[in-house]
Each structure stands twice: as C-alpha cells, then as structure tokens.
Structure 1
Amino acid sequence: MPRTSRLAPAGHAPVQRKAAGAGGDTPSAPVRTAWEWTTDPWMDAAHRGVVPSGALGAATAPAAGVVQRRASSVVQRTPLDTARAQHEARGEDTPAGGVGGQHGSFQDYAEDDTGPEIRHDHGHLDDGSGNLDESLREDPTWSDRLERLKWIAKLEAAELLRPDLVDGTSAYRHFLFGGGATRDIEYGRFLENDSSGQTVLESALEDTRQAALERHDQDLAGATPTEGTQQYRIRTGTMSVTSGDARYPYPATENWQKAIGAHTIWIEADVTVTVTRLRDPASELPAGVPEEGEASSSESGPATYMRSFDIQMTIHAEDMYNFNPGAADIATGTPDSANGRFEITGLGHEYLNRGTYSQSFEFEATMDPVDSPQHNAGPSDPGRGSRSGRPADRRAYPTTR
C-alpha cells in the first residue's frame, strides 16, 4: 500500500509556480510535495541506507532541460554513495587475527574468593598512576554544553539508522546519561554474535578442560587410582582480550568494538571428577564371563580406569568505559579528547562494564597425564597487557565509523 503524506494526499497534482523573467514567462521546476519527496529513490536510499532497484540508472540519466556541467576530474560522493557504503558495512565481522596467544593458568580458590584484583585507568581524570585525580575537574562552559548536544544528536541518529550498533550505542548513552553507575553487559551476546567472541569462548572451554585434567593429575601423582568422586574449585588470573592474540582476540564487529573494545576477563570453574574401574586385574577376575552391560571384563591384565568430568565454567568480563588522552578513533581519527572533555566537566561519566557467561560441559578421559601448554596468565600475572589499566587498544567511537 503506497504511503500517503499528511501534507498532500495521494493523487493530487503538485502546485506549479510561475517565475518572472526577461522576455516572458519561464517555466520553473515543479515544487515537490512531501509525498513526492518520500517516494524519491535518492532521498529514500539516503534515509534507509538501501539502494533501490534501478535507482542508480534513474539517478544518472539527465533530465530534460537540465544544464550539463563539464566533467571534473574530482570524484564526488553523493548521498546515495554514502548511504550505500554505510549499508554494505553494516554487521561486518572482520576477525582480528594474531599469532600465538595466552593460555589461562588455573589455581584452587576458596569459597569467599571474589576473583582477582583488577585496576583500571581513569581516562582524562587519571593522575598518571591509575588513580582518580579530582583536581582535574572543571565546570562546563556553554561551548561544552553545545558540543554535548551535538554528540547526543549523533547518538540518536546512530540509534535510528544503525540498529546493528545496539550494544555500542547503548554503552555510549550510558556514558552520557548513566551518571557513572556500573553497567551489566550481556557478555553472552559478544561470545555468540562476534567471531572473536566465538574464539574467546572456544579458548576458555579448552583452557578449562585442560586445567581440570591437570588438577586431577596433581592428586593422582602417579599413584594407583581409586574409584570415587572428587571436586575442585579453580580460577585464572586476569587475561586481556586484545589485538594480536589469536586465542583471545580483539572484537571483530564494529558493534562490540564500540561497546567494550579490548577488555579484561577471568575464568572460574566448579569441577567434579568421577573415577570408574573398567577392568579388574587378573588376580581379581570372577569366575566366568560378567553379565552384559557390566563394567568389568574377563580380559586379563592390570586394572584400568576411566575418569569423567562434569564442569560448570563461568567467564567474568570487565571494562572501564572512558576516553584516554592521546588516543583516537580507529576509523575516523577523531581524538578521544572530544569526549574526554565531558569526563572533565561532568557532562559524561566513566563507568565500569561488567558481564558474566556460564556454560556446563562434560567429557571423559583416560588416566594418562596430560601435557601442559605454555601458560602465561596466572592468578597474579595478567599475561598480555597491564593490570594497572585498560589494554592499550583503542575503542572505536560510539557514533562514528
């Protein structure tokens, strides 16, 4: 059903005006109604970021009576070009890549352990040592307030035209209006919808599985296994999800680059191990063949065992959302100081992003001890990146490309 303008009902002819000129009346271009503007393919494409079928051909065909200017060597981008480029870039997922990568190193932790200590920088209010310096605050000027209104307009435009940036724009809105309150993020969305997030989850599952095996190996220490169940509580230290790391890489989508960028995680797990004897030694073999379905075997040889693992893993994520002196937007080069000024004047507030994701999984293994990979992120060692601040990677701006 065609759309109908409230200003001009469908079917009404546009109003024609006469233009006075030397030598008589010269017909002027028709004045478009609101309805005609909304059906114009160029305007519709620029608004929605979608190139309509046939719009390019219609746009390039010169209308009758239009004065043709000499072609210029300078390539001009039309609103349609910009709309098309933005549309094609939506939802792009560009894996960060990297070489090698850190492996989480787990240790036992107590019931009252709340996780490793994580220190964050304070952006434009940092004293240079990771502490908040209140003396750097200033009263906002009218120019500051006007600039904030401009950024609010950019935010609202992005919320309207770029639904693919929902997590990034939500994070920036909280910076402007949240008053510095801690914000819970749906970290599972990053792990599911971003290719780097998927890699982070795969690495976390792999590291947790390895840690569970190693922890049980410590108890065995070459001794003869015994049937039964054991439980452990283990966790890592801090690890940086950052560029250059193939196992815990920087976010690949623009949405999550803007929402959290490089950030810190740590992993905890509740592990239950059950050891089952599969075959009795020859000296313990019962007479005859065991009933079908029983674990024992009539084969001779030493006793053999199998261990089953039931694991509840939780990933904790943290990121201090702020803007850092000397840093700039990855895509546009806009300096962080453009928004860092809001931190100084209180027109925007840094805040802590926090999120968790839990997953249960099971697996079985023989009693053979496992080989340990190279660990470089222990409970008191963050591995890659500094514990005293946010990883050095720059976050893409919340409302610009």
Structure 2
Amino acid sequence: MAYRDAARYIEGMKPGIVNAVADECLRAKRVISAVSPTLDGLRGTVEWASDHADIYEQRLRETVDLVDGLHDGFDKAGVAIDEYAEAQARAQALVAEGITAEGHLRALIAPIVATQSPVVRASDALRAWNDLRTSTGAMDWLVEFSVQDEIDKVRGDAERLWQTATGAYEEAVRIETDARTAAIALLAAAYRLLPDFLANSALSAKIVDGTPGLRDLRGKYQIGPPTVPALTFDDDFPYDPNATPTPGDYASWNKWQAMLRAGQTARPDLDDALDLYAHYRDGTGTERRVDFEEGYREDSNIRGAVDREISTAQREAERLYRETGQVAFQMTGDPATVDGMGLYPTTENWQKSLGDFSMYGTSDVVVDGDQITMKIKVHAEDMYNFNKSAADIATGEPDDANGRFSTLGWAKEFRTYGELERTVTWTIGESPNVSGGDGSQRQAPGEDRADGRSDG
C-alpha cells in the first residue's frame, strides 16, 4: 500500500529526456561500429619496414581494444538507460491511474468527510477513507456513528477506488525503484568497459594555464548535473569570545534597534532588507532565502544580470551541442559577481539585501531539430555580513558599528540564497536577446545592507 506522496517524485520525471540520452549512447555505438571494420582491416595489411614495427603493432592493438571498449560501453549504457526510460513511462502511467481513482474517491466521500474532525477533513482522500473504513477506538466510533449508514452505502465503490489508487502508487514505486537499481548496475558495468581517458589533473591544469587562449576556449558552462560552486566570503568581524562590550556598544545596539523599528514602520520599500537585518541581529546565523523573483521585478540591474546569464547559457548550450552532438544534457555555469558584470543593484532595498552577490545558472537542455529548449534556474548566493571600513551607499553610515555586534556575539552572519526559473526556446544560430540593466556601478566598497550594513 502506498499513498500519492510516496510516488510524487515520479510525476516530475522526464522519460523523454532520459530516452534521448539513451538514443545518443546508441548513436555513438553505431558510429563506432562503422569505424571498426576499417580499423580491424589494418591488421596484417600494413607492413612496417622499420625497427619500430613492433611499436606500430602494439599501438594498433591498443587502438582496437580502445574502440571495442567504447563500443561495448555505449551499447550497454544505451540499453540500460532506454529500459529505465520505459520504466519511468510505465510508472507515470500508473501514477496517473492512481490520481484518477483518488479523485473519484474524493468526490464520493466528500459529504461524509465534511462531518468529521479537522484532521480527517485536512487529509487526502486515501487517508480519509482509511480512517472511515474502520473504527480504531471508542472516540472514532462515536464520531463516525451518525454517518455509519452513509459509509456503508459507499463502502463497495470507495474500497475499490482506494485499492486501485494505493495499488497503482505502490506498483509505480516498485517499477521505478527496480528499474533504477537495475540501470545503475548496468551503467556501472558499462563504465568499467569504457577506456580511461583521465589525465593527471595537475598536469592538465598546467597545460591549460600555460597555453595562450586555451583557458578562454573552455566555456562558461560545463555538461553535468546541477553543481553548487565552491564560493568563499570574507569575514571582517569574526566572533571574539574575549571581546568585552563597552557602554558605547550598548548604546550603539539600542540605536540600531530603534532605527530598525523606525524603518519597519516608515519604510515598507525596504521590507526585504529590514527582514534580513533583523535576522542578523537575532544571532541565530541560520540561512535565509530571499525572493529573487521580486528582486528581478524591482531592480533593473538584477534583471539585467539575470537576462545576461540566460543569454550566456543559450550561447553555451549551442556550443556544447555543436561540440558533443548530445541532444539532451544538463549543464552548470561558473559563478560570477554582479559587480564584476557592472550590474550592482540600483535600488536601496536590493543594495542592502543582496549587494554584490554571486550568480550562476543550472540548466536542462533539449535539442529538437534546429530548436533548442532550455529550462534554466539562475541562482543567487551571498553571505550576509559587514565589511571593515565600508559604508552604506544611501546613508553613508559606516559598517564598523554593525560589524562590532558580530565580534561581540550579539549578531551573526548567515548565508542568503535565492533562485528563479525560466524556460526559453529558440532556433539554433539566432542571436540571444541580451536585455541588461542600466549598467550603473557600485559607488562604495562592500555589500550594503539595511541601516548601514554591507557584505562581502
């Protein structure tokens, strides 16, 4: 028995994309198959009149083995992924069947559920019927006594729908889980068949760094699953357990508390910034999500930075498609700061909320003929803290006062993050539409925050 929440992850699966990956593996196998006869034909047909004839024979054997390994690896991987795509499709069909049955059950028992406790009324149809179908105690019996005749009238149909839905969800989870387990095992076997093309990482990096222009050709995006970049942030005011507060510190703390309260009353336009500042002062240090969609709507430079990231991702998707021939892939971009783009936020609220935040994109890309569809998530990452000797853009207030609260342990820096999603479709070769902000630059060091705060 399983309820819909156990199978919900199956609803979001994309068997079409998985199948496209399988097709690419099998296409690679077919290409290699076309090359193999020519390569095999070289054995015994070329004679070297040289002292190094044995090296030629050795290299030829190694090349044939390499091609055979690629052929068998792609063949096994393609079959495994194709079978998993089919299992995903079957599982999704079962989930759809379960959702339909659950919907009919909900309509059937709705009048009875409306007479029950808030817990039952708030439950999904399957759990609600599971509660109604049997009495589990004296209180349960008393609640259901007045509607027992109504329960008995619908019991046959309700039980059938309940069994259909829970059975469909359970079977969907079983099919997907078994297929995924089998696919992982087959892919592991396929991976072992592939030749090892890995180079020494330190040596590879040295070659790239020492070759003029080569680093620039690597591109901003790389194929692979969504990957969180390693970001570093400054900490100009670390906690010092030996720091002793002074009367001036207490006065400053109370002053900034009063400024926060005044801002919350008189400056609704700084709602995001003031909320983050209040969280800084509560000293918990827990991460906080920001409404990046709101920032996109309200700040022209945030909007410009996001639009530029999407356009860059479009160009990179075309590049990776041309270079690899893959028609379905994921990719992750390198992070960049908005100040580095010349697109520091223009509005006071977002100067104080995000400042010079880091941004990167993760995307799912599908190529269909000359059309590319990309679903991209643009991520914003920042550390909410203060910069020594920096000042607020709008007020000119120095950061040091609020930074001092962190040193004393009264306040604590914390991670902020947000993201927004877009889906874009375009024709290969079209020039992406770069819609930027007004290009205004930062006017002061540090990342400005509400009431004179800045971050690094």
Q: TM-score band, normalised by the shorter chain?
A: 0.5 to 0.7
1:123-202 equivalences in 2 (<5 Å):
123-125=236-238, 135=240, 138-202=243-307
Deviation sequence 1:115-156 (CA, Å, 0-9, x none): 21001111212xxxxxxxx55752434442332121111001
Opposite residue 157 of structure 1, the aligned amino acid is A
Flag the 1:255–1:364 CA change in 2: closer, same or farther, 3 A.
Answer: same
Aligned to 2:422: 359
Q: Following the alignment from structure 1 to structure 2, what is the Cα–Cα distance between the partners of residues 339 and 365?
A: 51
Flag the 1:253–1:105 CA change in 2: closer, same or farther, 3 A.
Answer: farther
Q: In the alignment, is residue 110 of structure 1 matched against residue 238 of structure 2?
A: no
Match of 1:238 among 310, 335, 349: 335
1:104–1:207: 8 Å Cα contact kept in structure 2? no
SS in 2 for 1:123: coil
Q: Following the alignment from structure 2 to structure 1, what is the Cα–Cα distance between the partners of residues 353 and 266?
A: 17
Deviation sequence 1:214-235 (CA, Å, 0-9, x none): 1111135xxxxxxxx8211111
Q: Give 1:319 deviation, angstroms.
A: 1.1
Q: Following the alignment from structure 1 to structure 2, what is the Cα–Cα distance between the partners of residues 328 and 250?
A: 15
Instruction: Choose between structure 1 and 2: higher helix proportion.
Output: 2
Q: Following the alignment from structure 2 to structure 1, what is the Cα–Cα distance between the partners of residues 302 and 283?
A: 26
SS in 1 for 2:312: helix
Q: In the alignment, is residue 259 of structure 1 matched against residue 353 of structure 2?
A: yes
Aligned residue pair count: 229
SS in 2 for 1:160: helix
1:242–1:393: 8 Å Cα contact kept in structure 2? no
Deviation sequence 1:236-294 (CA, Å, 0-9, x none): 11101116x34xx000101101111111111111100012xxxxxxxxxxxxxxxxxxx
Q: Give 1:324 deviation, angstroms.
A: 1.4
Q: In the alignment, is residue 122 of structure 1 matched against residue 219 of structure 2?
A: no
1:308–1:364: 8 Å Cα contact kept in structure 2? yes
Structure 1 vs Structure 2 CA RMSD:
3.0
1:279-318 equivalences in 2 (<5 Å):
307-318=370-381
Instruction: Choose between structure 1 and 2: higher strand proportion.
Output: 1
Flag the 1:328–1:178 CA change in 2: closer, same or farther, 3 A.
Answer: same
Deviation sequence 1:339-389 (CA, Å, 0-9, x none): 1110110111111111111111111226x9x99x9xxxxxxxxxxxxxxxx
Q: Following the alignment from structure 1 to structure 2, what is the Cα–Cα distance between the partners of residues 103 and 398?
A: 41
Aligned to 1:326: 389
Q: Give 1:183 deviation, angstroms.
A: 0.6
**Equivalent pairs: percent with the same residue?**
29
1:188–1:356: 8 Å Cα contact kept in structure 2? yes
Opposite residue 274 of structure 1, the aligned amino acid is D
Q: In the alignment, is residue 250 of structure 1 matched against residue 344 of structure 2?
A: yes
Flag the 1:218–1:397 CA change in 2: closer, same or farther, 3 A.
Answer: closer
Flag the 1:121–1:213 CA change in 2: closer, same or farther, 3 A.
Answer: same
Q: Following the alignment from structure 1 to structure 2, what is the Cα–Cα distance between the partners of residues 183 and 251?
A: 19
2:387–2:403: 8 Å Cα contact kept in structure 1? yes
Aligned to 1:288: none
> Gaps (5+ residues) in structure 1?
1-101, 126-133, 221-228, 276-306, 374-391
Flag the 1:397–1:352 CA change in 2: closer, same or farther, 3 A.
Answer: closer
SS in 1 for 2:237: helix
Q: Give 1:395 deviation, angstroms.
A: 3.1
Q: Give 1:109 deviation, angstroms.
A: 4.1
Q: Following the alignment from structure 2 to structure 1, what is the Cα–Cα distance between the partners of residues 350 and 411?
A: 20
Flag the 1:135–1:394 CA change in 2: closer, same or farther, 3 A.
Answer: closer
Aligned to 2:451: 399
1:330–1:395: 8 Å Cα contact kept in structure 2? no
Aligned to 1:131: none
Q: Following the alignment from structure 2 to structure 1, what is the Cα–Cα distance between the partners of residues 421 and 380?
A: 12
Deviation sequence 1:69-106 (CA, Å, 0-9, x none): xxxxxxxxxxxxxxxxxxxxxxxxxxxxxxxxx99943
TM-score (norm 2): 0.46
